[in-house]
Amino acid sequence: MSTPEERPNPDEALARAHAARAKMAAALTEDQEHEPDEPLGRQPIWKRPRKPKSKAAKKQELRKQRKRLQKAGKRRLAASQSRRPRPRQNRIGNAAARRDARALSRLRHSNAWLW
């Protein structure tokens, strides 16, 4: 555990911070102001000035986007086709056949006579 002599005095730290405040503020404002013809150096991408794309580059990008969207549409269609419910007529026919088979099996296992 640290002894009180080793701990820094909070008042001294506060005084140092106040003294450095003006210096830091000057450094920050100096960094933010640029001359119009001066190169800006490294900047985040959202602050960089936009470069206009050439027509060929625009067309190529659109071509890639169109192809990507078409492939996505095909995948979506294939996915929906595989989940598609079967035609209603088929389902009704199968259900009716199942009902008939069930009724016949009940008759076969019962001792009822068919007149």
63 within a domain of the structure (yes/no): yes
pTM: 0.33
pLDDT over 90 at 59, yes or no: yes
What is the number of domains present in the chain?
Answer: 1
pLDDT of residue 91: 60
Classify each residue of 59-86 as buried b or exposed e, where b means 16 or more C-beta atoms within 10 Å of its C-beta: eeeeeeeeeeeeeeeeeeeeeeeeeeee
Q: Is residue 78 part of a domain?
A: yes
Residue 90 lies in a domain: no
Per-residue model confidence (pLDDT) at position 94:
73
Chain center to CA of 75 = 18
Q: Determine, yes or no, domain membership for 70.
A: yes
In this predicted structure, what is the pLDDT of residue 61?
95
- Domain encompassing residue 73: 58-83
Domain membership of residue 93 (yes or no) is no
* Rg, the chain, Cα only: 40
pLDDT (average), residues 82-92: 62
Q: Is residue 71 part of a domain?
A: yes
pLDDT tier at 87, thresholds 50, 70, 90:
low
In a domain, 62, yes or no: yes
99 vs 96: CA distance, rounded Å:
5
Instruction: Indicate whether 1 pLDDT > 60.
Output: no
Top pLDDT among 60 and 101 is at: 60
